[in-house]
A and B are shown apart, each in its own frame.
Chain A
């Protein structure tokens, strides 16, 4: 019996030894050089300086795409753009109903353009987080500027979400190496506070990149302005110099890699570019400028010979009796496919300063306005007599400076929320005609795309508040 027991004991011991040796070495033998991660990116490459910076660059691409999408979206929803041959609202939101509102669904829950804008902003936010994670892993202080940029991009994307969408935007927490958490509906103010914290993080890092600091300061100030904290906002941008700016560049002259996912971003910017006449594409040629769309919009131009240098336009007359507006006006600010415009600049800092001074009834509030106008050769303007006119002047100046920058809708909402204007006095209202049928504009609150609401995010149930 002892023999048997010894036999069994030794056998079990031997097997155990083999098992332990096998288990110890398994981790190393299953490591592969080119794991099945993606199509052609080495997993380890992400954890390098070029890889981490590559993630940051893709964040810039996402932000380009987001700004482009949002600017077109906001342009259509506000008074910046209309569309030909279809009416702007309908072209964006599908077939009109008897009481068309901005949130009108096309019946299938699809809002392609609006979804793109929303998704692009979320993409920029998520990608910025990934870039930041890998940049930090490099433990290289020379990359502080890049980490700062990632924070600023994230903050900017969140700010745009807060500015343009209803209260209740979810920010799903998607981080590398961690369990993703589905986002709950966040009130607009909460979003803005989160954005401010991102900008603060960007500004906290020590680096010498004025560009990214400018983006962080202006972005933070914008968020503060939306919270009504004018003083803090003005303080944030007070040291921005006339040469400081953060510019987004884009060119369509070269397509280095037809498979690049950034093609999406180029397409989005291209959308703006082809607003110019003579474009080879017919897809977006119908986007036009209409004076006082819906009865409330700005008077963007008087005639072709008296143009604001901040908004060059091309005016032509079409011989088409079907259309409501026989006069076709197209913007030429984005005249071709080579685009560079300032997301954050001294001009915006001046506008913020002016608004702060106006809020304190400072008689010199117009000075920053005129300082900005002088940069493009415009003569100084004078402060109107009453408060409403002063506010109108301020927001008109902002509208011309930031035409198709994706800020017009936010300005309209601030006029309603912070300046007590009524919806019907700010947004396009009244009726419009299409195919001999008359439709009615509604109020203007932008809801979160139905894909968000109807997707698998079970903790999300839509907007909290549709207050414009």
Chain B
């Protein structure tokens, strides 16, 4: 009851805003609303009806007095003034003719209903108050002036919500069975059925994705029957609400497939440290998450439906709580800083067909992240603690090093096969070693501690959520024992800090407060702050050679440590400190039940400071080491993203047409501005003992401030027919600081969704419970940089006439006719619920074509000192087939077995490169029409023969392909994932995921391989190695690689509820999780996924020294109370 009182108290001064919006947007919208909690008959007092309230409620509503002096004003304004003064919400039909009549009245210390009675006197209007006191309705006084029929009529009002999320459900059809009376629910879920004949009625509420509800109630003349309806959550996919550019929409109305990831569900079954891990663990078809290495803080990238841009970013747009974030341009992304415990959900909007209205750069897809907002109720505490242990896995191909002697040099020297061929040496021995175990580092155990405290709670008017998290990760790679001993032998006493593996310490806080000061106003505020500290210290060395020898060798380990001679040791400190903040506010305002205004305002700021300090120490053969000059670099990178987004949506009331025709138009606009301020300073020759940046010699500096702004507006409308067919039509126009012609930046979209299983000709059956067909086509773009258009200019200094003068140098020719790179995507698919909703399947085919694709085209020297400039010349096509299926194979009271399957088939091709553009690039960067962007290219050994019979293949003895030939895809063309989840008695949960993919992978770890360093190597290996060493070749060595990875497994035990109740707990679970648990592959390196750089689609493969993502074992402990 106290909650109700508070709720009523905040219903103040809503009418002014409501009216304002009504006048602006929909001045003739029907504005009728009665909220009530039961159907008890209101009591009429002096033409005013007052519901059956408690004494306290009646007092709060009725007893407040107001004073007003109304002189020759319209009745409308008089009612509004009373509403404003009384703090009551007064609803009226804006079409009532009496509202424009002018009145004068003096109201002194009158109660609200009395005041209304004064102004309504003689107007044939009546004011009624809902029995919860929340709303006063002014309507025609039908009992007095109506027909005989109207005397016998009442009305039905109510609200429809989702029982699980408590979210209002709009668009539900409310029909009085057996009559023509019907309506659809407004954006806030409310509905009103006026002029309902008195008597008992059966009210049917239908909504796609939910089971229809039928409620019987009795309508009495002149009274309002209140019906609040809760739709039980459904297993059907279509019942979900997903986020689009215009706000939340039911999935059934959206003609594209939007992926929704429940963050907590992912966390329960897979080790995730950040959002990228979370997306990867969700194994969504069409989404590729790659990391560059397994080192802490290493960058990760996301690609959605392949690569469409050749020279521009292929990163998706990222939005957190409604505001854009710079989630992709920094490496590592600051998105990593958000703790998974603070995330409510992640939605992935794939391709321009869905992302059109998000504007520029959305053609690569949009990732919408929503943090936890809290739920009303007592404070709930959720503690989670992870302890991880990780190790790398797989065996690195062995390194080979030929050693030999030469009459011109003393001691052993490096002696490759090529050296032997050129008579530079005679090979004596070949060293073979595992570089990761013996060469530069020894890989140890990765440890990770993560602690998160999340709490939320609140009341009807305020909810909150706070997440505090800290993470400390120590990487796998360490300085090897060999190296440490080496340093000690030569007398170098590095502090213990050097040689430690890279480590990341990350603290973050995420807070969200949602205010509901009025029923029609919702204000959400989010603040996230993070502070990360990445240490990447290391010891480097340049050994002068053997004692008494001259061989400058980094690789030899087959000697005693005492043999190591003079050298230079570099002790490198490389700390990176990053602070990130995100402030996001979301305001949802319903000036009218049929109108929703949504505003997002926010900013994301990151500040990264990176230091590089290298102190050289020279160690002679005899004597102590001595410090040498040092080098120091400092960089500061501050970036900001500012967001303003506005959207207004409405649901048009089309009266009796509502049953078969709905239209919900939206209009919106947004503004995004990014700043980047980059400062760097590098100095060398820093004197011994000086750690600062002031001394030494300046070798480079930069001070760069870059800004970019984008703005756009859009119109969109959802049109529904017969509650089964929906069309989504929209158009957006963008303009930005880098767009020269706004007419090029108009992006239309249209989509259709047809719930065919609801058609009358569809025979209901248990095999296919529901089936939706959908198709959409939409445009979007990626914009060029402003510098690409206007050219690039830098400050310089010239010596002119005996003086140094400031100059401005042209460093890049612009291209003023550049247009945004445009993508158009056709998406066709279906969603099906089968076998009594136990099997859900989504299948999508997407055909995306990038036109005017920007190519960094090499320009001739006649352009001057400019190598390239952007031109809109290429066309790229991406085709994707995405299938995901979830089935509840066994579903009993004590056992639930859920199986998941996801499949992605990808096809990428450069269709055309434009006139005069020759194929360019080599290896995995080669761009050539008819081939994929990230194809692997190289020369192949067509044959070899040892003509001189010396046992060594020389360059002249190889028959190589004449030119670079296409070898194969570097990006997976076929990916599949498999998941199984078993729940026993709601206590034990076992989950496991596998993933398979195939592609071509270049493998650089063969170099230096045996074929190049061992004269006794098989000739075939020598031929491959020699080909790779020919000038201008550098052809990658690799081949088709398939891998099946056991991505994750977990077993979780949830304490029984009865046991929890004994000590007041809500939930306790212990989970043992693992990731990267197995890898079965024909790849000869450690892991083909290592060192993936998807910025341009390049996949570098295992370069030999980059550790893959470790195999993790995680103990996850959670307590909720």
Contacts and interface: CB of A to CB of B under 8 A. Distances in A.
A251 interface: yes
B815 A119 contact: no
B176 to A, nearest CB: 21
B797 A260 contact: yes
Given A18-B667, A19-B713, A41-B793, 11 more contacts: A26-B735, A30-B737, A37-B793, A38-B787, A39-B795, A64-B799, A119-B865, A122-B863, A126-B863, A262-B807, A455-B860
A19 B646 CA distance: 12
Which of the listed residues B26, B715, B791, B807 has the most CB atoms from chain A within 10 Å of its own CB? Answer: B807
A46 B706 contact: no
Chain B interface extent, by class: 35 or more
Interface in B639-657: 648, 650, 652-655, 657
Interface in A308-324: none
Contacts of B786: 35-37, 43
A440 interface: no
A19 B715 contact: yes
Interface stretch (A176-184, A193-201, A407-415, A423-431): A176-184
B704 A40 contact: yes
A456 B28 contact: no
Interface stretch (B695-703, B845-853, B1059-1067): B695-703
B810 interface: yes
Contacts of A30: 671, 709-711, 735-737
Interface in A1-60: 3-4, 6-8, 10-11, 14-15, 18-19, 22-23, 26-27, 29-41, 43, 45-46, 50-51, 54-55, 57-58, 60
B798 A262 contact: yes
A41 B707 contact: no
A36 B918 contact: no
B305 to A, nearest CB: 27
Contact of A38 (B28, B713, B793): B793
B711 A57 contact: no
A85 to B, nearest CB: 20
A165 B816 CA distance: 31
Contacts of A180: 813, 815, 859, 863, 869
B791 A34 contact: no
B100 interface: no
A190 to B, nearest CB: 14
Contacts of B702: 39-40, 259
A122 B652 contact: no
A57 B807 contact: yes
A93 to B, nearest CB: 17
Interface string B708-722: 111111010000000
Which 9 pairs, one residue from A and one from B, show the smallest C-beta to C-beta distance? A458-B916, A54-B808, A123-B864, A126-B864, A57-B807, A32-B707, A457-B860, A455-B860, A172-B862
Contacts of A169: 862
B808 A36 contact: no
Contacts of A4: 654-655, 657
Contacts of A258: 698-701
15 contacts: A3-B95, A19-B713, A26-B735, A30-B671, A30-B737, A34-B707, A38-B794, A54-B806, A57-B800, A169-B862, A183-B862, A257-B797, A451-B860, A457-B916, A458-B915
A127 B810 contact: yes
A126 B675 CA distance: 31
A126 B797 contact: no
Contact of B800 (A118, A177, A249): A249
B811 A171 contact: no
Contact of B669 (A22, A171, A179): A22
B563 interface: no
B542 interface: no
Interface of A: 3-4, 6-8, 10-11, 14-15, 18-19, 22-23, 26-27, 29-41, 43, 45-46, 50-51, 54-55, 57-58, 60-62, 64, 108, 115, 118-120, 122-127, 130, 169-172, 174, 176-180, 182-183, 249-251, 254, 256-262, 264-266, 449, 451-452, 455-460
A61 B704 contact: no
A10 B804 contact: no
A182 B806 CA distance: 31
Given A58-B810, A249-B801, A259-B700, A23 B713 contact: yes
A262 B809 contact: yes
B135 interface: no
B521 to A, nearest CB: 21
B426 to A, nearest CB: 25
A130 B806 contact: no
A130 B810 contact: yes
A179 B740 CA distance: 13
Contact of A7 (B29, B704, B869): B29
Interface in B666-713: 667, 669, 671, 673, 675, 698-713
A127 B865 CA distance: 9
Nearest to A263: B796
A71 B712 CA distance: 55
B814 A176 contact: yes
Interface string B804-845: 111111111111110000000000000000000000000000
B663 to A, nearest CB: 8
B810 A456 contact: no
B924 to A, nearest CB: 21
A171 B798 CA distance: 25
A26 B706 contact: no
A18 to B, nearest CB: 5
Nearest to B804: A256
Contacts of B798: 57-58, 60-61, 64, 262, 265
Contacts of A178: 816
Contact of A33 (B707, B785, B807, B812): B707
A95 to B, nearest CB: 12
A31 B709 contact: yes
A58 B809 contact: yes
Contacts of B735: 26-27, 30
Contacts of B704: 39-40
A256 B797 contact: yes
A126 B26 contact: no
A174 B800 contact: no
Which of the listed residues B708, B813, B864, B917 has the most CB atoms from chain A within 10 Å of its own CB? Answer: B864
Given A11-B652, A180-B813, A250 B799 contact: yes
Nearest to A211: B801
Contact of B811 (A124, A261, A460): A261
Contact of B862 (A23, A29, A33, A452): A452
Contacts of A452: 860-862
B189 to A, nearest CB: 21
Contact of A36 (B26, B700, B706, B801): B706
A55 B810 contact: yes
B20 interface: no
Contacts of A127: 809-810, 864
A108 to B, nearest CB: 6
A260 B808 CA distance: 10
B467 interface: no
B707 A36 contact: yes
Contact of B797 (A19, A41, A122, A262): A262
B710 A35 contact: no
Contacts of B667: 15, 18-19
A260 B796 contact: yes
A40 B27 CA distance: 52
B1075 to A, nearest CB: 39
Contacts of B28: 3, 6-7, 10
Contacts of A29: 671, 709, 711
A465 B783 CA distance: 43
